[in-house]
């Protein structure tokens, strides 16, 4: 089904900035990653999306290709990111059929809600393997191609006639920043993903490759919100109150962040984490008590009462 351009890309980006470039994306048929790829293709690039479900991945590729006449989008299904050989084969096919790999997104992930008391060792390992090991395997499969691209499209800080290349991106979460119940498995996995990205930034920066992280917050109408949040009106209203901007994000806002990091505007950004969550992760310390509920109490202008003051008493 065709998606209107304004749903996945802001009007600020110039058409053609990714002309003749290739994006490799695991989890590329997902609700967020597909829009990242869609934005890239709309701006002139070609892409290869990877997934476990063959039908979903192939149909996803066909749909993404409709955003720009003449685009090439390959869907390679039946690939488990936990299997290095399968990923390497997919990366090699992408490079052979599309001419290389200039950009990559490690977007495959798994998640569910469970307290540690109900979280088996196998369930914990599964998420670690998909998120952390899968991200590592993705990086290993594409890094030789990204180094080659970075050498062709030098990261000098000056505008290059052939544009940019050699950019790697990981998708993370904020659970390990602030602590959150029911997410021990994902917090551990995403903490590992972050460190993999940081290490690549250090070790491959000298080759011209950049490695960064995008951390989405709750994004409307996505699998993440459906799996991790109650979607009845009252629950969603309460959830949005913990976000300083007072709303869920849009997939377009993650796609825009992706374009920024892949474009010349992001040439000097390396080893960084771009949190796109409306400021939610900064409210981790906001009180949940009825007396000082965030953000109502702050906006009321009322004084803090009913607790011991930090001021010295006057005797």
Q: Which residues are catalytic?
A: 172, 190
Residue 279: partners with Cβ closer than 8 Å, 6 or more residues away: 243, 244, 245
User: Exposed e or buried b for every residue in 208-247, given b needs 16+ CB within 10 A?
Assistant: bbbbbbbbbbbbeebebbeebeeeeeeebeebeebbbeee
Judge whether 214 and 257 are in contact, CB under 8 Å: yes
Judge whether 94 and 80 are in contact, CB under 8 Å: no
Judge whether 189 and 128 are in contact, CB under 8 Å: yes
The residue with tokens 């949040």 is 229
CA 256, CA 10: separation in Å to the nearest integer? 7
Pairing of strands 210-216, 46-50: unpaired
| 193 phi-psi bin (left φ>0, alpha ψ -120 to 50, beta other) | alpha
Structure tokens at 310: 């930090």
């Amino acid at each position: 089904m065709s998606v209107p351009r304004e749903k996945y890309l802001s009007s600020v980006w110039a058409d053609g900035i990714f002309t003749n470039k290739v994006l490799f994306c695991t989890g590329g048929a997902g609700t967020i990653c597909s829009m990242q790829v869609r934005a890239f293709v709309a701006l002139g690039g070609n892409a290869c999306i990877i997934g476990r479900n063959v039908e979903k991945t192939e149909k996803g590729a066909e749909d993404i290709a409709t955003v720009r006449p003449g685009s090439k989008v390959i869907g390679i299904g039946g690939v488990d990111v936990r299997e290095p050989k399968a990923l390497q084969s997919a990366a090699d096919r992408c490079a052979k059929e599309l001419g290389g790999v200039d950009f990559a997104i490690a977007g495959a992930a798994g998640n569910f809600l469970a307290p540690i008391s109900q979280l088996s060792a196998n369930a914990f390992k599964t998420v670690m393997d998909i998120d952390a090991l899968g991200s590592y395997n993705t990086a290993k499969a594409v890094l030789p191609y990204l180094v080659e691209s970075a050498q062709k499209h030098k990261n000098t800080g000056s505008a290059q006639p052939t544009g940019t290349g050699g950019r790697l991106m990981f998708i993370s979460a904020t659970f390990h920043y602030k602590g959150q119940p029911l997410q021990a498995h994902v917090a551990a996995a995403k903490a590992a993903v972050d460190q993999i990205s940081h290490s690549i930034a250090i070790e491959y920066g000298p080759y011209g490759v950049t490695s960064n992280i995008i951390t989405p917050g709750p994004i409307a109408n996505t699998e993440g919100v459906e799996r991790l949040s109650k979607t009845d009106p009252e629950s969603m209203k309460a959830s949005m109150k913990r976000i300083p901007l007072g709303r869920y994000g849009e997939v377009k806002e993650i796609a825009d962040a992706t374009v920024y990091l892949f474009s010349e505007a992001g040439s000097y950004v390396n080893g960084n984490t771009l949190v796109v969550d409306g400021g939610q992760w900064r409210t981790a310390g906001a009180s949940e008590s009825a007396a000082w509920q965030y953000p109502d109490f702050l906006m009321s202008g009322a004084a803090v009462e009913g607790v011991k003051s930090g001021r010295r008493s006057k005797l």
